[in-house]
Amino acid sequence: MQNVKETLAESIFEVFERMFFIFLEPGSRSPVHDYESAIRFDGPQRGEIRILLTQPVARLMVCNMLGIEDGAVTEQHVADCVKEAANMVSGNFLVNLDPSKKFVMSLPGFSARPGPHSPPSGGAVALDFDCEAGKLGVVLAMEGAG
């Protein structure tokens, strides 16, 4: 599971630095997140990746990705950007996990005000990050193929 955790962390750092120009550092768990996007995957292994963000982080992502001012950011921009982050992190993670295998990913879902996220149960990994704008959490739940 340590290799999975390292691969996931590398994917998160790569996507957030290259696509959103946000430089993350390992951090502490945020008690509440404002937004969540989840995407499921199936293949040799199946599971779900959830991205949890505070509002300032989500708005900074939109500003950096679209090159717009914070005052022009809409809730639709935020929803689309957070879903795209889940899509990119998941795709990057799965390719790096095993490039020889094929995975199918669902469309990402989005939720505003998802509330607190609990510690992961067995077979799940949670990573928490800090950046200049706030906090980000990523939860990976994975199981073998059925």
| pTM for the whole structure | 0.90
Q: Can you list the domains of the chain with their CATH numbers?
A: 2-144 (3.40.1550.10)
- Centre a 10 Å sphere on the Cβ of residue 61 and count the other Cβ atoms it contains: 27
What span, in angstroms and rounded, lies between the C-alpha atoms of 61 and 21?
8
What span, in angstroms and rounded, lies between the C-alpha atoms of 144 and 135?
30
**Strand 109-115 to strand 33-42: parallel, antiparallel, or no bridges (unpaired)?**
antiparallel
**Using one digit for the tens of pLDDT, what is the confidence trace for 72-113?**
999 999 999 999 999 999 999 999 998 999 999 999 999 997
What span, in angstroms and rounded, lies between the C-alpha atoms of 138 and 33?
11
What span, in angstroms and rounded, lies between the C-alpha atoms of 14 and 58?
17
